[in-house]
Amino acid sequence: MIDVAAGVLGDAQGRVLLMQRLPGTHLAGLWEFPGGKFEPGENAAQALTRELHEELGIATRGLDSVISLPWRYPEKTIRLHALRVTAWEGEPRAREGHPLRWVPIDEIDPGAMPPADRPILAALRLPRHYAISPAGSDDAAVLAWLQTQQPGDSLIQLRLPERGRAALRALIQAALDTMPWLRNRLLLNHDIELAREFGIGLHLRASQLREWRQRPVPENVWAGASCHDRDELDRAAEIGADFATLSPVRATPSHPHAAPLGWDCFATLVAEARLPVYALGGVRVDDLGRAREIGAQGVAGISAFARA
């Protein structure tokens, strides 16, 4: 496995720097986050600092981990370590002939990037929290709960298995009418047809992962998946899900018969995942720091986000 470091440089306008791969190289013409291979004895921070100086002429002064993931190309297998460059000195310029451009993060086309860079883009766009609606609530309670979720603070999943489709349709319409900001943050659990109808995100059950060869919703909405082991995480990545939840980390009353993974097993599974992963199951909001330290995108939960 080849270790590769990738750097995310952002500006005050919300743009990030992309570099185009040169003709004659692997994946020539695609746009990627700048960086390169480790040299012997280097860690990710050291490799990225050296590469950005060589490629862009800048001196890094601050780095923060984004995601680390393995990726298997037909030609080679890599582990891509993405780090956000929080501070640097100098003006980025192409020292090795690579075309450069600053692009608003929401306007980047994943299809114009190498496959291994696309999960980095998802990780940059995803928030740290993923709130799941409490079960057994009536419409008024669900709408009140949604009102407590701050715009931009988290992704939100509507998981209301007791609702019929007509009732769920009316609830979603009411939520979108009163809270337009929800459209870019809301995912519907398992109901593909209704998610497509409203043009909102979809969260697939683990059982649904076996039914699809590609993501069942467009690229412009979120697609998540419930996973419990390595095979399901692999399947979620293969069909093009943007992220997964991995559960249960701890014992939880909602699934009393499910054996908890524990943080060590969770960390091992996340290290081999090819997409961002949220920790779910007995997890609290204040577990975010621990989850991030072992590679998770963030934390997800029901009771943890029950603010109403």
* Per-residue pLDDT tens over the stretch 188-245: 999 999 999 999 999 999 999 999 999 999 999 999 999 999 999 999 999 999 999 9
In this structure, are 259 and 169 located in the same domain? yes
pLDDT tens-digit map of 120-156: 999 999 999 999 998 877 899 999 999 988 777 799 9
CATH of the domain at 233: 3.20.20.70
Tens digit of each residue's pLDDT (9 = 90 or more) over 250-307: 988 777 778 899 999 999 999 999 999 999 999 999 999 999 999 999 999 986 676 5
Contact 296, 67 (CB under 8 A): no
Reading the block at residue 67, the tokens are 């995601």
Is 187 found in the same domain as 105?
A: no
Check whether residue 133 and residue 105 sit in a common domain. Answer: no
pTM, two decimals, is 0.93
Same domain for 178 and 77: no
24 and 111 part of one domain: yes
Cross-strand pairs, 7: 83
Which percentage of the chain shows pLDDT scores above 70?
97
**Through-space distance between the first and last CA atoms of the chain, rounded to whole angstroms:** 48
Last residue of a domain, one of 73, 94, 120: 120
Same domain (yes/no): 155, 269: yes
Ramachandran angles phi, psi of 168, nearest 5° = -65, -40
Do 146 and 114 reside in the same domain of the chain?
Answer: no
- Residue 306 pLDDT: 64
Are 152 and 240 part of one and the same domain? Answer: yes
Q: Quick one: 52 and 190 in the same domain? A: no
Q: Do 133 and 282 belong together in one domain?
A: yes
Q: Which of 85, 120, 155 is the last residue of a domain?
A: 120
Q: Which CATH number does the domain housing residue 13 bear? A: 3.90.79.10
pLDDT tens figures, 85-111: 999 999 999 998 899 999 999 999 999
The strand pairing partners of 278, in sequence order, are 245, 298
Of the candidates 81, 156, 90, the residue with the CA atom closest to the CA atom of residue 123: 81
Counted domains in the chain: 2
Range of the domain at 153: 129-305
Same domain for 57 and 155? no
CA–CA dist 40, 131 (Å, integer): 42
Query: Does 114 lie in the same domain as 195?
Result: no
Helix (H) or strand (E) holding 236: helix 230-238
Domain boundary among 90, 120, 150: 120
